[in-house]
Every structure is written in C-alpha cells, then in structure tokens.
Structure 1
Amino acid sequence: MAAQVNLDVPTCLVKELGISHDDYPGGYKSDEINNGIFLTWKDLWVTVPEKAMAGVEGRRPILAGVTGYAEPGEVLAIMGPSGCGKSTLLDALAGRLDSSTRQRGDILINGRKQALAFGTSAYVTQDDTLMTTLTVREVVHYSALLQLPDSMSVPDKRKRAEQTIKEMGLQDAVDTRIGGWSVKGLSSGQKRRVSICLEILTRPELLFLDEPTSGLDSAASYHVMSRIIKLARQDKRTVVVSIHQPSGEVFELFHNLCLLSSGKMVYFGSASAANEFFASNGFRCPSMRNPSDHYLRTINKDFDVEIEQGFHSLITATEAIDFLAKLYTSSGANHQVQQRLQQIVGLKNREPLEIMKEKHAGLATQCLVLTRRSFVNMYRDLGYYWLRLAIYIAVCVCVGTIFHNIGYSYSSIQARGSMLMFVAAFLTFMAIGGFPSFVEEMKIFSRERLNGHYGVAPFVVGNTLSSIPYLLLISVVPGIIAYYLVGLQKSFDHFAYFALLLFACMMLVESLMMIVASIVPDFLMGIITGAGLQGMMMLCGGLFRLPNDLPVPFWRYPMYYIAFHKYANEGFYKNEFEGLKFEEGVGCGGMSRSIGGDEILRSVWQVEMGYSKWIDVSILFGMVAFYRIMFFAIIKGVEKIKPMIRRYICKFNRAVHIE
C-alpha cells in the first residue's frame, strides 16, 4: 500500500503564489467543504467507430473503464503520451464529446447527475483563437459585456474585466494588441493567459484546460500554471488540466495526477506519491531526471523500446503499461480513490448545486457589442476592406480611362455593355478577397459559441451591421470614379441606383462567402470554392452567353434565375439604357437614324422588361437576406452534419487517432 505523502507546495513556490502552508491542506473531508464542485467519474468508457474486418463497422475504445475525481481548491493533471485519451477524458468530463462517440459510466457532480449551465463551468482550449487587432483590455472588456448578465452595470462589468486581467498578471500588457501577421503583439504565454481570462470572467467553479502549456517554453509554462494554481486556491475552484509533458517545476504544482496510457488508468493519486508508486514496482526515477519525463517514457508504446525494470530485467513499453495498469487496480492508491469516491457520493445529501448561477447578456446587448467589436476589427484589419478599397480604386481608374467619355454613338452600345458587365462580374468577384479575415472571425465565433458566450443570431446580426458602412464605402468611392470618368447617365438618381446595386452585389457575395466559410473553414479551399461558384454564376448570368442562347436544361432553368449576375446585369443595363438614344448613322435620305435604349435592352441584351429596375435590386437584397438566413441555418445544423461526415470517413480509415 502506498505511503502517505506530504502535499505541501515547496517554499519557493508558496511565496510566489501568496499561499500559506496553513492554507494548503493535503485534502478535504466531506464535512469541511460547504461550497465548490466535487467532480467524480467511475468506470468511464468512451468508444469511437472503426472499420473492422470484412467491412463491418466496429467500436474502438479510447477510454477503458477509468475512475477518478477532482476536488475544490485543487488542480488535477491528466497526463499521458500522445493518443492516450487525455483530451477525450477532458471532453467527456466537460460534456463536449461529439455524437460519433459513445460514452458509458457515471460522471457525477457533488454525488449527483446534473448538468452544468453557463457561468458554472468553463473550458479553455489549447488554441489561442483571439482577435489579433484588439488590445488585451479590449478583448477582455468585450467578452465581459457579452457574457455577464444585463443585471450588472457596465462599470461593474468593466471592473470585473480589470480584476480578471490583474488575476492573470496581464496589467502591464493591457494596452498591447494581441498581434498577428501584420502587427507584433503578445508572447505565447501572455496569449494563453488572455484565453484563460475570457473563460474565468463568470467566476466558474469548475475549470477545464486542454494543454494550457502547449507551445510554451518552461518559464512561460510555469507562470501560466502558477496563475492557474492561484485561481484554484483563492476561490476553491475545481481545476482539471490535460497536459503532455510538464517541466519539473510545473509538475510540483499539481495536487493530483491521473496518468493514462492507451486509454487505461496507470496511476491516479497524489502527484508527489507517483514517484513511490513507480519505484516500488521496479521503475525508479533516476536522479536529476524530471519525474514527468520518466513516467511518460515508461508508458509510451509508440516506440515500444525495452525498459529496465529493477536491476536485472528488461521489458517492453507495452508490457510495462499492462503491468502497471494491473498493479494499480490492486494497489492501495486505487483503494484510496474508491474510498474517496464513496465520501464524495455522500455529498448528494447536500442541497443540489445551483446550476443556473448567471445568465448571459441579453440578445440586444450581445448584438450591439458584437457589432461594435466587429466594426473595430474591420477598421484595424487592413486585409478586411482597406486593401480591397485600394484595389477597387485602382481598377476603377483603369476602367474610367479605358472607357473615358464613352459618348452616345452606335459603337458605344457595346462599350457600355462591356463596362457594366465588368462591374457586375469582376468588382463583385473581388469581394472574396476578405474571405481569410472572415475565416479568422469564424474561428473566434466557433470557440466563443462552443464555450457558451453567445449564440448564432447575435453573430450574424453583428457581422451584418458592422460590414454595411465599409461595403457602402467600397461601393460609392470606386463607383464615383468609374461612373463619371466613363460618362454614364449624369443625373444623381442614376448614380445612386448604380452605387446601391453595386452595394447589394457586394453584400450578396459576402453572404455567399459566409455560407462557404461555414462549410469549408480552410481559407484557401474556401476561396477556391467561392471562386468556382461565382464563375459558374457568371457563365449562366447573361454576361458571356445571352439568355436565349443558354441550353434550356439546367443552365437556363434553373441556373439563370439562381445566379445573382442576372439581376445585377439587368439592373445596371436598365439604369443606363432606359431613356437614352444612340445615333445609328446616316440613312439613305441623309437623315440621321437613332435607336432607343429600350429597344437595345430587348433585342441586343435580351433583358426582361416586364418589371422595373427596382425589382432587380429588391431581388438582390432578398437574396442577401436568404443567404444570411441560410448561413444561420447551416451553423445551427453543422454540429449534426460533421459527426455524420466523420462516421463516413471512419469507414475508410481504420487508424483513429484521438489525443
């Protein structure tokens, strides 16, 4: 049976964390805790689909009957080699497994089966997906306005944000931008602490962190983990961390250790007692070696090298894993875990946990905050609209000089049509240039939505409202240059319609690219997909092939009426040609002949004249609304579609790798 080990933090760490030894007991008895969350799991199995022999789909276990617990005021570290199931265990405890997995076993909160709502638990992913154009203060303040309820005043929300920034030691970097490809900003460790800030604004009693030290050096890892330890101690928070290979200093901070390999429990108990467990079973940690390195080297079967057991025998890593897993099930450490589980289950006699601790901000508040945040991001991100504006101006100068003062001769009919066709096709096509920036915003939305900060509707509304001023700008300014250099109809009403129609086309293409981004999150594949869709619409939109010449099946019906270029083209043509007269030449009697714009629309461009140009622009705005609603619906349903795709892929791939 394992000996009892003192769990006190080393003196050098106690001083830095501001914790006295008297305030650092080795554990809690059930009658000593009046608040906090006790999380337990017993005989937990998680399986995923796998193609078995003869094409029959089977199930592969990722977790095989693991048992453990996490207590208030303590940090539980889940460790193991790559593919051992530590992230799967974390996701199972947090309720984030997708529908392709199957879970069996009991996960209890204070001895009860109950769900944890927003504000009671939080999950910090290993990817620091943050808005790179904002400062630390702005990122945390906007998040506080989104997450904290409307019952809190704005000054109180800002006070909470400032307090959280100080808790994570970021007060010296509050006015520093997060930083990205265009601007150097925070270090990796600071970004990780900002990510933690966003999830602890609601003061959650249960905190999950997936690889919080991933990609950090030992110094940054220590500072991040020391802040997490302090959070756990100050407010009796229950903290569960999955971590790959911590340094010796970081390992000393952990209270309990859950060691996994190939989905099996190799050890669970006091982190400081793990050394004795390994040593007593023949795997003594050499002096001057990091204990966590020694454990992972012993139970890593990827290379399956021979490991020294005791002084004379050698066994493979696979044998060592099976050996340690069997010994653990019959060890005193496992017996202590079972006893502690029974004590915690006795807590179910207490009052149930108040799971609805806090509510979100209201829908109107979230829409306004997201609109403002997105507007600021678009203003500071050069690639979102400003680069496109510069390109549009350059292109429109080229168009204006090539078609300068086009006149009203018969030859100007074709020139007018070509110029308007270029505007309807190329300028709207260039709207895909902002796709990479929108994909980054989608990644932030995905993380914040998964963590319960807000829903799909506020994001769609916020993105739509914030983009309107910029789309108007890149429609009007280049439009003025092209319109008046070419010498189109000179009345302001005609130019206003021209700019409005161009704005509708820009907004429609952005809406289309939003749909693409929701399905194809990779920006390179998304640009290719969006370009392909627009190219197909151009071909059948009446630009390169007149409507009556299109093949009737598919291209004329229904693609011609689905393509927005049809309505853009018709709107531009009607706005320009209606009411004009073009000199066709001198007839046999010496009289000049002219042809009316309406006749050109019918006979030359084959435009449908049964409705006005305002119907065309109305149809385009209707398509904008339809695409935005479609984007909303896809986002709502994508969580059900993706697991189906994964299951389909699994039929052709037997090797399933889950971290």
Structure 2
Amino acid sequence: MILGEAAAAMIISKDLFLLGDQDYLRLPNKDEKRSQGPNMGRTNTAPNHRVDSTAVHFPCLLDQRPLPVHLAFRGISVSVGGRPILEDVDGLVRPGQVLAVMGPSGCGKTTLLNSLSGRLKLDSGQIYFNRDPLCKRWKRKICYVLQQDIFFPDLTLRQTLEYQARLRLSDVMSHAQKMQYVDHIIDVLELNNCQDTIIGDYLKRGLSGGEKKRANIACELLTNPSLMLLDEPTSGLDSHAAHSLMMTLKRYAVSEGKTVVITLHQPSSQIFHLCDKLLLLCNGRTAYFGDTCKVVDFFSSVGLNIMPHYNPADFILEQIKGPQDVRQKIILAAEEARKNKDYPIELRCHDVSFITEKYDHKILPPSHGPYPSLEQDALNQMEPDVRRLWLDTHSHASSSVSSDTNDADCYFSWPTSFWTQFKVLAQRNFQEARPRMLSKLNWVQTIGLGILAGLLWFQLERREEALHDIQGWMFFSTTYWMLFALFGALSSFPPEREVINKERRSGAYRLSAYYLAKMVGELPLTITLPAIYHFISYPMLGFHSPLVFLTLLGFLLLNTVVAQSVGFFIGACCMDMQVSITMSALYTLATQLFGGYLATNIPPWLTWMRYTSMVHYAYQNMQIVEFSDGLPILCAKKSKFAICQMSDSIPVTSILEAQGTYLPLWANTLVLLGFLFVFRLLGYMVLRYFNTPK
C-alpha cells in the first residue's frame, strides 16, 4: 500500500514543494559547481532500491528535478454519446510507483488515461495532483504517450528528438544543454544504434516497431515530466522487446521518482510483476485496485483460485471475461474492499460515514476544496514519508489554488518564446517537407514537362496566328502549377495534422508560431520547381526581355503560392480526404473554366464566377506583361481585331477586351494577394477555433 523503502528516498523535501509555480530547482553556476565538487549542487532523490544491477542515471536531468506527483482519482465516471464508459473508478499512485490499468478490450482503459490527462470531460469524480485539482498548469506537467506512434516519417530519430528538445525545453537552457538531454535519453532508452535512421512509414522502411515505441516515449521524457501516462506501449512488440521496455520504464520511475500509469492488454508474468499497483477494469467498473502482489489473494477470497505456475495476468483477465455471475461477484468484492482498513486512506476518506463513525474531533488540516482533509488519527496511520508528502503538498496547494480552481487561475507560460518556436518549426518544416516536395520523381516530372512545353511552343513568331499558342503556354503554366501546389498541400496536410495535434495537446508550441513557420519554411520548396520549369520552357518559347522573364516568373510563383493557400484551407476544413479531394477538384475545375482561355463567351448570369478564379487574375497579368513590354504581336492579313485596320500590331488592351472585362496589372496583383491573405487566415481560424485537437 505505501511506498516503503523506495519511497523514503524519492520524496522531495518540504522546501521543494514550497517552490510553488517554479517547477525546477535552480541550476548552479560554474563557480558553484567547481567549489561544490562533482557530487554537490544537485538534489539526490534516487532511492537505494534497484530493479536490477544497473540503475538509470540522468546526470543532466538531476539538476532540474520537477515536483513529484501524488496522483489520486476518485469516483471517475465518464460517458460518451450517452453510453457509460467508466463508473465510479478509484485509483492512487505515488512517486516511484507504476500503476497498471488492465482489462479486456473496450473496458475503458484508454478512456481513463484520457480523463487523467484532462483530454476528456468527466461526468463525475475528482482528479488530484498533490491535492491540486486538475487544471491547465498540471496538464503541462503530464506526458501522455499515445498507443499510435505518430511522427514525421522523413526525419531521423535524432532529428526528431532534437527538434522536440529545442521546442519543449526552456529558453534558459543553452543549445548544448538541450542536446545533452537528447544524448542521455537516447542512451537510457537504448536507441544509439538507430538514432540516424529515419522514422519511416508503410512506404519507407525505417525504425522497427519496438524502436518507434521507444522513440515515442523518448519524445515525452525530454520534458522531464512529473506524471507519465502510457497507453499500451507494449502492444505489437515481441516478449523480449516488451520486457526490455518495461524494465526501462520501471528503472526510470524508481530512480527519478516519477509517477507512471500504464495500460496493459495481456502482459507476460514478468511484466505484470514489474508493476507496483494494479487497477483492474471490467465493463468500466473497478474489479480490483491494490498491490499487484495481492491480486491473486483477492481472487482466492472470492473462490477463484489460480493454478500453480500460471500467469496471474492471464488468470485474472480470463475471470473478468467469464460468465456474468463471476464478473458480478468480482465487482461486488471490489466494492467491499473499499471499506477495508487496508484500502488507501486517501481514497477511503471520501466516504463520509467512515469519517463520522470513526472520529469525533475536528479534521486537521483545514479542507482544501472538494478534496477532503484527513483527521489527525488518519494521518497517523500513514507511513512518515507519505504523510510528509500529503502535508507538504497541502500547504502548497492551500496557498496557491482556491477551491474553485479553473484554467484561468492556473497560470501557464510557454517553455520557449514565439521567436524560438517559429525558428525551430520553420527549420523542421523545411527539413521534413524537402524530401517530399523535391523528390527525384518531382524533379524528373518538372524538367521533362519544361522541355516538353518548350518544344511544343518552340520559338513562336510574334504574329496573330501564334497568339493563341502563346496564350496556351501561359494558361497551361498557371493551371498546372495551381493544381500541383493545391493537391500537394492537400495530400500532405492530413498526416501532418496528426503530428501537429499531438504536439498541440502536449503544449509544445503556439499554433500561430507553427502556422507562420509552415508558410515561411515551405516557401522556398514551393517556388523551386515552378521556377525551374519557367527557366526551361520560357526561353524556348522566345526570350525577349530579362524584365519580362522575371515578371512572368513572379506572377507564376504568386499564383502557385495562392493555390497552396487554398489547399491548406481545404485540408484544414475537411477531416475526410475524399471530401477534400472532391471540393478541391470542383474548385480547380471551375477556376480553369472561368480563367478566360477555355471560354470567353460566358453567359451574363455566370460572369461573376470569373472573379473567384485565381487563374483569371494570374493569366491576365501574364498577358499584360508579355504583350505590353515584349515584342508586339503583328496583325494577320485577315485579322479578327478591328484595331488592325489602323495598325500593324495588336495592343494588349484589344487582346484582353476579346476575353471580356479585365483589370489593370496592379488590381489583379492586389486581388491575388487578397486571395493569399484570406485563405491563409481562414486556414488558421479553422485550426484555431473549429478543428482544434480534443
């Protein structure tokens, strides 16, 4: 029930708890370290107890030790869509302990972790961290390792960890210190041999399943969290890899005084006995809570005896998946166990009858919010280390958090500044997107298409007979790169959104920093291929003026960036890829139809749609530049332009008038910039207020 010898060395002194919102101890400066010697200047809280012959040590982490977490949750009830998932679930886990949450599929294990992390709203119940109600300040001190391994597949393991360290570790730390964190995490989780391997996915071979699990945990351990929540980290691993991972987590919890809650589906007996506490769920209700080593005795007390040399984990799972009467008997026995004197005193005290029947005098210390205070006799029943943790955290909590604590009261500051987040995210976006946007296939496609377009429209004469072909090159160039950029952004957004949502839930960075960094980081990649195409095809078409060449390139790139903005917006709005592709296809086809090349005699009641076409403005601008500053277009003998009766060349105004109404160059440019700004802003608003991660 109580921490015992391991806890005695893990509980931090009262002075540390009274630090309040200062999460970490002060780092001694170089002079202090030199005078204190190698063993001074750091808080030693590692216990003497060892899981095996090798203990985990984090020299760089010990200088900044966060508050240990005493996690208690009582009466947790959660329903989704009117269907109850959890009903009246209790649990308690202290620093240095590992709480295993077990049960059959669909019993509510992941729902419980979501509730403890604050990602799911409770119907009833309370969750307390060191007697503080769960709030935003505490959410930032929790690491939640999801069952799915969500990463950028083209980054190596070390690059992934380095970017996480630069984003999530405080700006007061130097770059060298952050890299030291990364080195130690890699060493402890035994990832040295694969640190330069890409993460990979189902198309690209990269890390193995076990290595991805460790990488997932490593990303969260970088922040030195107080509480670790892990959702089935051993799933998909072989027995050796699963046991090795659990041994590492256990050593880390004991040596660093971390509080660990982990869900397990069907563990081996070795993994099962590594856990200190066990919470067994059956149909969302508590079937057992207590010491792992006592679960067999509990089942024996209800007439369910385990066979010799049988895996206890397999045995208890078989029982709670058995007949209805057996399951009901187990649940009733678990409810009776709550009234037992061996049940944790912190969880028993919510039973008012227990307090009033056993004690007559006043409760000390004063009650803090809905979390009950313990009477002096109840406190005396605790072991000294647990009692000190209880009282010290109470003195801190009563002075820092009121009974009506909400997210606004729990002040949280980002670990890094906006500029740091922007800079790191821009670098990461560039590095992550470069293999995808500038792949060998895209290079071959761009160069081949540029040569083909140049050959098709090779050295066109500046005559009216070739006017339609010159316009064809302009229209093809604008529409092709519009489609390329829009659908490229669309296809890359869904997998990236999963990573961004995971990082946003953990409070790694501001959404605004990510959004601006994505625009800036991917801008060089977005314009590279269209520029290469233009450098190849336009000189083959007929090079007349460097100014015209560069101006046409500018409008081609502007149209490409605008199309990418539309792709971001549609990708942010549509969670379903098929829906987003359908919407994008409808918009791009309409854009081409009303662009001014395929159809010029548009019915009057449809003319308004041309003003929603980005191609319309870019195509007009390219014509204005090409036909105004370039060589004149000579009239044909039988010209369709009336101006040719008085002139030998066709002015640009006559060419544009033949397509309908037109705007001047500056107006078309402003409209394109407006498209760019509006769609980027709308994409941000959707991510910020509508499709926010739950």
The answer to whether the aligner puts 1:14 opposite 2:60 as a matched pair is no
**In the alignment, which of 550, 554, 563 is matched to residue 509 of structure 1?**
563
Note closer, same or farther for the CA distance 1:599–1:351 as it changes in structure 2 (3 Å cut).
closer
The answer to whether the aligner puts 1:124 opposite 2:124 as a matched pair is no
CA distance in 2, matches of 1:78, 1:382: 40
Amino acid at match of 2:277: N
**In the alignment, which of 392, 401, 404 is matched to residue 455 of structure 2?**
401
The answer to whether the aligner puts 1:47 opposite 2:95 as a matched pair is no
CA distance in 1, matches of 2:152, 2:3: 45
Partner of 2:31: none
**Superposition pairs for residues 198-213 of structure 1, below 5 Å?**
198-213=219-234
Give the unaligned 5+ runs of structure 1: 21-33, 50-58, 301-306, 308-315, 644-659
Partner of 1:37: 69
Partner of 1:549: 602
Partner of 2:128: 108
Asked whether the equivalents of residues 76 and 122 of structure 2 are also in contact (C-alpha less than 8 Å), the reply is no
Note closer, same or farther for the CA distance 1:181–1:551 as it changes in structure 2 (3 Å cut).
farther
Amino acid at match of 1:324: I
The answer to whether the aligner puts 1:600 opposite 2:692 as a matched pair is no
Deviation at 1:535, TM superposition (A): 1.9
Deviation at 1:174, TM superposition (A): 2.2
Partner of 1:626: 678
**Superposition pairs for residues 431-442 of structure 1, below 5 Å?**
431=485, 432-433=487-488, 435-442=490-497
Choose between structure 1 and 2 for higher RCO, CA contacts under 8 A separated by at least 6 residues.
Answer: 1
Deviation at 1:145, TM superposition (A): 0.6
Partner of 1:25: none
Partner of 2:583: 529
Asked whether the equivalents of residues 385 and 470 of structure 1 are also in contact (C-alpha less than 8 Å), the reply is no
CA distance in 1, matches of 2:310, 2:133: 42
Amino acid at match of 1:556: T
* 1:249-292 per-position Cα deviation (integer Å, ceiling 9, x unaligned): 21111111111111111111111211221232232233444322
Note closer, same or farther for the CA distance 1:596–1:169 as it changes in structure 2 (3 Å cut).
same
**In the alignment, which of 294, 300, 318 is matched to residue 273 of structure 1?**
294
Deviation at 1:335, TM superposition (A): 4.9
Q: Which moved more, 1:396-405 or 1:175-184?
A: 175-184
Asked whether the equivalents of residues 584 and 593 of structure 1 are also in contact (C-alpha less than 8 Å), the reply is no
Note closer, same or farther for the CA distance 1:60–1:415 as it changes in structure 2 (3 Å cut).
same
**In the alignment, which of 611, 617, 634 is matched to residue 561 of structure 1?**
611
Deviation at 1:607, TM superposition (A): 4.6
Partner of 2:394: 349
SS at 1:429's partner residue? helix
User: Over the residues paired in the alignment, what is the CA RMSD in angstroms?
Assistant: 3.1
The answer to whether the aligner puts 1:94 opposite 2:100 as a matched pair is no
Partner of 1:79: 102
SS at 1:584's partner residue? coil
**Superposition pairs for residues 573-584 of structure 1, below 5 Å?**
573-578=623-628, 580-584=632-636
Give the unaligned 5+ runs of structure 2: 7-48, 58-65, 350-378, 380-385, 401-409
How many pairs does the alignment contain?
587
* 1:76-110 per-position Cα deviation (integer Å, ceiling 9, x unaligned): 1111111111111111111011xxx5521111122
Deviation at 1:161, TM superposition (A): 1.7
Partner of 1:330: 336
SS at 2:343's partner residue? helix
Partner of 1:54: none
Partner of 1:571: 621
Deviation at 1:594, TM superposition (A): 3.2
Q: Which moved more, 1:243-252 or 1:143-152?
A: 243-252
Amino acid at match of 1:350: S
CA distance in 1, matches of 2:469, 2:412: 67
CA distance in 2, matches of 1:187, 1:623: 44
SS at 2:149's partner residue? coil
CA distance in 2, matches of 1:61, 1:495: 66
CA distance in 2, matches of 1:271, 1:408: 87
Note closer, same or farther for the CA distance 1:4–1:490 as it changes in structure 2 (3 Å cut).
closer
Amino acid at match of 2:185: T
SS at 1:337's partner residue? coil
Partner of 1:163: 184
Note closer, same or farther for the CA distance 1:406–1:119 as it changes in structure 2 (3 Å cut).
same
Note closer, same or farther for the CA distance 1:214–1:278 as it changes in structure 2 (3 Å cut).
same
Partner of 2:312: 291
Asked whether the equivalents of residues 121 and 207 of structure 1 are also in contact (C-alpha less than 8 Å), the reply is yes
Partner of 1:360: 415
SS at 2:52's partner residue? helix
Hey, which of these two has a bigger chunk of strand by percent?
A: 1
Deviation at 1:551, TM superposition (A): 4.9
Percentage of identical aligned residues:
26
* 1:98-135 per-position Cα deviation (integer Å, ceiling 9, x unaligned): xxx55211111222325234652211111111122222
Deviation at 1:542, TM superposition (A): 2.9
Amino acid at match of 2:420: T
SS at 2:396's partner residue? coil
Note closer, same or farther for the CA distance 1:128–1:453 as it changes in structure 2 (3 Å cut).
same
Deviation at 1:233, TM superposition (A): 0.7
CA distance in 2, matches of 1:290, 1:634: 50
Note closer, same or farther for the CA distance 1:13–1:215 as it changes in structure 2 (3 Å cut).
farther
Note closer, same or farther for the CA distance 1:385–1:511 as it changes in structure 2 (3 Å cut).
farther
SS at 2:133's partner residue? coil
* 1:511-569 per-position Cα deviation (integer Å, ceiling 9, x unaligned): 211122223345555444323322232233334322x51452xx433x32222122112
Amino acid at match of 2:97: E
Note closer, same or farther for the CA distance 1:541–1:409 as it changes in structure 2 (3 Å cut).
closer
Q: Which moved more, 1:190-199 or 1:431-440?
A: 431-440
**In the alignment, which of 223, 229, 234 is matched to residue 244 of structure 2?**
223
The answer to whether the aligner puts 1:185 opposite 2:222 as a matched pair is no
